[in-house]
Structure 1
Amino acid sequence: MKAARAALQKGDVTYILPYVSEEGEQEVREAFGLADEARALGPTAGEVADRWFFETVVRVHRAGEGAPFTGLKPAGMDVGPVIPAVERALDAGSADELTELLCGIVREQVDARLVHAMALKEHAGEGVAAAREYIEASLGLQVWAHSLYKQAIADPHARAAHPRPRV
């Protein structure tokens, strides 16, 4: 939203274009032109135009990610610890804090899920219901770990032109 605001305030659509796909660029340019014209009609029209432009930008951005548009979110929403850590990593040029954060979260989750499964395993021989609980927990750990692995190696935007670096 900062880039969309900057584009409107400075009268320059190029501030927001890097955030949308090439396929969505023309729509954003057109929306910018219309919003810019409407802003000249007064504060109320400008407020409506700004909101419409923001919604257009977010919708086009989300479409470029293959994700649905679910509306604008209020400013100041808690995004959790990861997004700010990524922003600090990008500012500092160091992955140390982000790596520690993510590894710590994964470690805590693995430990908790394993402890839970092992506690159920102790009683798995006490009947079908107990065995099912253990199997559900152990398969849950496997599915969760596999999903995490697949996400960790996935290209977040699946763009062939910019493949994810393999390490």
Structure 2
Amino acid sequence: MKTQERKAIVAGALKPGKSFKLNMRSLLLTFALMLVSLPGFAHCDSYDGPVIKDALKALDKNNVQLVLKWIEPQQEKEIISLFDKTYRLKKGDKQVYSIVEKHFLETLVRLHRETEGAPYTGLKPAGSTTPLVVMADNSIAKNDVGEVINTVTTHLEQVLRDRYATVAKLGKTKDESVEQGRAYVHAYVQYTHTLEALEHILHGDISH
């Protein structure tokens, strides 16, 4: 989602005259649509993620074009050269090819992570992807984002309601003792930081 489009949705959600419930629903909907684009939620380093799936398909079909979309133009030379070397060994010794193939996958994922501004921490086994990202992939396969939106908005709304309720409750006794005051501060930080994180997502320039 482009920054201007995101800000337009947010502005509409915050427009005076709308009910609080409608405003919150709009904000949560925007959050759901953008959440899985965050680098922190990426699964490009997993064997069941799209990068490695495309890489294995490329090696199977001898078509390096299938993986170039995951990297920047200035990285293509390195990947094309390594791809050619890897493919030439495909029908040779299986143990040697396994090592070379893994090196190719690691290099591709590392370079892709660089485009995200994220560190490379190694390849992850299949099944290590978080449930929300699995849901995101399924929504793309099914051409239906409804389940993602419903799950994220329902969960986030409940989190906000619970944290607000805790702050409201502890606020009534925050001045009665230091311990009660600290309990209130902890709850206050949890509640406000959740909203600050949401605001950053809504107004920040998120890219993949």
Shared topology, TM-score over 0.5? yes
Query: Partner of 1:100 in structure 2?
Result: 150
Instruction: Kindly state the Cα deviation for residue 103 of structure 1 after the two structures are TM-superposed.
Output: 0.5
Query: Partner of 1:53 in structure 2?
Result: 104
Query: Partner of 1:30 in structure 2?
Result: 81
Query: Partner of 1:70 in structure 2?
Result: 121
Q: Which structure has more RCO (C-alpha within 8 Å, separation ≥ 6)? A: 2
Instruction: Kindly state the Cα deviation for residue 102 of structure 1 after the two structures are TM-superposed.
Output: 1.2
- Map of 1:76-91 to 2, 5 A cutoff? 76-80=127-131, 82-91=132-141
Worse-matched range after superposition: 91-100 or 143-152: 91-100
1:139 to 2:170 alignment: no
Instruction: Kindly state the Cα deviation for residue 90 of structure 1 after the two structures are TM-superposed.
Output: 2.2
Equivalent residues, number: 157
Query: Partner of 2:18 in structure 1?
Result: none
| Secondary structure of the corresponding residue to residue 196 of structure 2 | helix
Pick from 136, 156, 166 the counterpart of residue 116 of structure 1.
166
| Secondary structure of the corresponding residue to residue 136 of structure 1 | helix
Q: Distance in 2 between matches of 1:152 and 1:37?
A: 47
- Say what the alpha-carbon RMSD is for the aligned residues: 1.9
Q: Distance in 1 between matches of 2:127 and 2:193?
A: 33
TM-score by length of 1: 0.83
Worse-matched range after superposition: 17-26 or 149-158: 149-158
The runs of 4+ residues in structure 1 deviating greater than 4 Å are none
Q: Distance in 1 between matches of 2:140 and 2:206?
A: 17
Q: Could you tell me which amino acid in structure 1 is paired with residue 136 of structure 2?
A: V
Q: Return 5+ residue gaps in structure 1 as ranges.
A: 159-167
Query: Partner of 2:31 in structure 1?
Result: none
| Secondary structure of the corresponding residue to residue 19 of structure 1 | coil
Q: Could you tell me which amino acid in structure 2 is paired with residue 59 of structure 1?
A: R
TM-score by length of 2: 0.68
Contact 1:39 1:45 in 2 (8 A): no
Q: Return 5+ residue gaps in structure 2 as ranges.
A: 1-51
Q: Distance in 1 between matches of 2:76 and 2:206?
A: 20
Query: Partner of 2:198 in structure 1?
Result: 148
Percent identical residues: 24
Q: Distance in 2 between matches of 1:79 and 1:108?
A: 20
Contact 1:39 1:49 in 2 (8 A): no
Query: Partner of 2:6 in structure 1?
Result: none
